[in-house]
A and B are shown apart, each in its own frame.
Chain A
Amino acid sequence: YVLTQPPSVSVAPGKTARITCGGNNIGSKSVHWYQQKPGQAPVLVIYYDSDRPSGIPERFSGSNSGDTATLTISRVEAGDEADYYCQVWDSSSDVVFGGGTKLTVL
């Protein structure tokens, strides 16, 4: 199972960033999202498509339908600049990560 993410997304501060994750009928799977800042370990920011772990700002939200899952970051801040990875579990491939998207805050 293959997950496809855009290599990069750019957004101005205060605007909304949308990072997509494409996969065949991904809407039938649970999608999880991780944020990784330079030199740091990944951090879970969204699980089960749209749930937020404690401590993650409400500005982070997720959706999943059809062949595309989306991580949405509202009111983007400079501190949101990071790599973002989507991930699913597939019965044939087990755990699969997308290739990652570098979010640049202009």
Chain B
Amino acid sequence: EVQLVESGGGLVKPGGSLRLSCAATGFTFSNAWMSWVRQAPGKGLEWVGRIKSKTDGGTTDYAAPVKGRFTISRDDSKNTLYLQMNSLKTEDTAVYYCTTVQGYTYASQWGQGTMVTVSS
């Protein structure tokens, strides 16, 4: 059974940094493309970015609002996905979900999410 467990969320001041983790089990993590999707309180889903498997180049893509501030990485030896968030803004307040990516285009499995609050 695929399990994705996010952690690392919390309260951070504007301009601060936070690193989220997503521990993956139940599938061959090293072969998987992974992504982060967020959801602001009471709002819809917003794609944050993805990372390809190393065999597919290991490259990353980001949504415009986070490009240059957020970095997605992976440690295949630990079956863990990361989201490093720098220069945080109040509008980054959201639940952050990690997902597996299938067919390049859709999120097949989702974690339970971790809440990030950016506030002074």
Contact = CB atoms under 8 A, between A and B. Distances in A.
A75 B97 CA distance: 31
A106 interface: no
A4 B113 CA distance: 25
Chain B interface, DSSP helix/strand/loop, else mixed: strand
Contacts of A94: 47, 61, 63
A25 B30 CA distance: 35
Chain A interface size range: 20 to 34
B44 A97 contact: yes
Contacts of B113: 41
28 contacts: A30-B106, A32-B105, A32-B106, A34-B107, A36-B45, A40-B112, A41-B110, A41-B111, A41-B113, A42-B110, A43-B110, A44-B108, A44-B109, A47-B106, A47-B108, A48-B103, A48-B106, A53-B108, A85-B45, A87-B45, A87-B106, A87-B107, A89-B105, A89-B106, A94-B61, A96-B47, A97-B46, A97-B47
Q: Please provide the 7 A-B residue pairs with the shortest distance between their CB atoms, ordered closest to farther.
A: A89-B105, A95-B47, A32-B106, A41-B110, A100-B44, A97-B45, A99-B44
Interface of B: 35, 37, 44-47, 50, 61, 63, 97, 102-113
Given A41-B112, A47-B106, 19 more contacts: A30-B103, A32-B105, A34-B45, A34-B107, A40-B112, A41-B97, A41-B110, A42-B45, A53-B108, A85-B44, A85-B45, A87-B107, A88-B105, A89-B104, A89-B105, A89-B106, A95-B35, A96-B47, A97-B44
